[in-house]
Chain A
Amino acid sequence: MNESSFSVVSAKKLGLTFQTSDGPVHALSNVDLDVKRGDFVSFIGPSGCGKTTFLRVIADLEKATAGEITVNGMTPEEARKSRSYGYVFQAPALYPWRTIEKNIALPLEIMGHSKMERASRVARTLDLVNLTGFSKKYPWQLSGGMQQRASIARALAFDADLLLMDEPFGALDEIVRDHLNEQLLKLWARTRKTICFVTHSIPEAVYLSTKIVVMSPRPGRVTDIIDSTLPKERPLEIRETPEFLAIAHRVREGLRAGHSYEE
């Protein structure tokens, strides 16, 4: 098996049904997907389409009720227990009583790294997200964008190959968001990680991804999988090119097809 064809995430006929007092809710149904090593996969769709749920299934924060899924060739639970992924949430979720460096060291403490090892990893990941010099600050002293970068650094600190990001820039304004998207691409190129990225922004999905998974709600399902034809090197201006707009158009069509506004 060569390097690039290895499936980091592989889902077959995956389904998840929540039992609620109003009856069953089909959060995911019949999801087939392969994420190859080194891919940057975006999940896009309206709220309720199951994109976050799918990410949480990969992370073993939810259990699938049908079908199969493997993460790094293991069950999600085994993958979580062997700390195969870093997870970035919608909010930074930094601990307010810890400095930025202590926040990034949190997973390292839990995983039992030595003090010296922790210090060198913290310094390295702070550099990756351009936060060197802010290590002794507390979260409230940083802007929202910087806090989210710190939370990305925390997910990177323990060198998991897979990065799961759940609308990490959703709460930030567009200018900060553009900047962070650019940085994220550079970081992805430098670290060669596999990234699964949930978003509801079409430009963000097209700009970042090698593969775009379009999803639709009720039941949550995959309606289209688009392999990006954009080059690996992507300046922000690429968003004005016909190629970019063509992919964005296809995403928009996919979203429209899967979504009936009458419901």
Chain B
Amino acid sequence: MQKESLVRHRILPVMAIVLIIVLAWYAGAYFMNAPFQRDLDRRANVTSTPVEFLQKTMAQPKPVVPAPHQVMQNLFENTVMRSLTSNRSLVYHGWVTLSSTMVGFAAGTLLGMLIAIGIVHVKTLDRSLMPWIIASQMVPILAVAPMVIVVLGAINITGLIPKAFISTYLSFFPVAVGMVKGLRSPELIQLDLMRTYNATAAQTFWKLRLPASIPYLFTSMKVAIAASLVGAIVGELPTGAVAGLGSKLLAGSYYSQTIDMWAALIAGSILAALLVALVGIIERIVEKSRGGRPA
């Protein structure tokens, strides 16, 4: 019964959407690659049946839009078929990106929490800090990232740290905003209650505000971890980094290896989905230990 409803309510809808996307993707691949294929055929004086033509648009080495099966094949070859240390392995590049994502995410979460605690407890910070935090996210990260890399590079900080710095820059924001909301989420009577006990600000924080903010923290961490991954990839783009999903994207665009690019892109999305799911799993475990009401 339960298994059946899982199939019907979770898997079927997802599969339906996937099917629609794949079909649209194939159609897109055909229409985007057809003009070039027609050009090729004309120059080589080949006439092909519609089916042959369709197959050819799906088998170009450097297509405008690679077909899903080309991307999947590339993805498969560059993950499962390669040794993990190979420069062509997407697992290797994914790991490089992942490691700076995680460092940046951890630092961003910590920074976001500290900022939120400051904003909630210090009135001056509440008024002065928030506009700057919001302004910080208005700056296009694509413009900031190269400057960060160059400036840090000038003082001999290269590799993981500059990329993690960009991840931190992107991920502290959702955590700070979410935590401010979470730390302020206790109702007035819950705060009054603490006052009747003559509780100190520290006791109110540890026993009321912080536990009340946990659901908000997890929601914002899901956004933050995806933003961290974007930050790490963006950090790899402008530097001519030799490793990481970002460098694969960049190399792909240099050499018009569109299939490589798409594969790296898909690898990045899979990584993001896994990271968000991981935060979700931790959230469920934590909520359960806090007596969370089963949904």
Contacts and interface: CB of A to CB of B under 8 A. Distances in A.
Given A109-B207, A110-B203, A59 B196 contact: yes
Contacts of A172: none
For the complex, would chain A's binding face be called helix, strand, loop or mixed by DSSP majority?
loop
Contacts of A60: 195
Contacts of A81: 198
A75 to B, nearest CB: 14
A84 to B, nearest CB: 10
Interface stretch (B85-93, B143-151, B184-192, B237-245): B184-192
A95 B211 contact: yes
SS of B interface (majority): helix
Nearest to B203: A110
Nearest to A108: B197
A91 B186 CA distance: 13
B290 A61 contact: no
B192 A61 contact: yes
B196 A61 contact: yes
For B190, B195, B198, B203, which residue has the most chain A Cβ atoms within 10 angstroms?
A: B198
A169 interface: no
B192 to A, nearest CB: 6
Interface string A131-147: 00000001010000000
Contacts of B290: 96-97
Interface in A40-68: 59-61
B207 A110 contact: yes
B171 to A, nearest CB: 25
B129 interface: no
A109 B208 CA distance: 12
Nearest to A94: B190
B18 interface: no
Contacts of A86: 196
Contacts of B198: 80-81, 83, 110
B27 to A, nearest CB: 50
Nearest to B193: A93
A111 interface: yes
B293 interface: yes
Nearest to A61: B192
Nearest to A111: B197
A87 B196 contact: yes
Interface in B254-277: none
B189 A106 contact: no
A97 B211 contact: yes
A89 B187 CA distance: 12
A93 B208 CA distance: 11
A197 interface: no
B191 to A, nearest CB: 10
Contact of A95 (B190, B192, B197, B293): B190
Nearest to A92: B189
A107 B203 CA distance: 11
B19 to A, nearest CB: 40
Contacts of A138: 291, 293
B199 interface: yes
A59 B198 CA distance: 11
Contacts of B195: 60-61, 80
A61 B196 CA distance: 8
Interface string B147-163: 00000000000000000
A207 interface: no
A96 B213 CA distance: 12
A181 interface: no
Residue of B196, B203, B212 with highest tally of chain A CB at under 10 A? B196
A91 B212 CA distance: 17
Interface of A: 59-61, 80-81, 83, 85-87, 89-91, 93, 95-99, 106-107, 109-111, 138, 140
5 closest A-B pairs by CB: A138-B291, A97-B290, A87-B196, A89-B189, A93-B189
Interface of B: 187, 189-190, 192-199, 203, 207-208, 211-212, 214, 290-291, 293
Given A61-B196, A83-B197, 7 more contacts: A60-B195, A83-B198, A87-B192, A95-B207, A95-B208, A107-B197, A109-B207
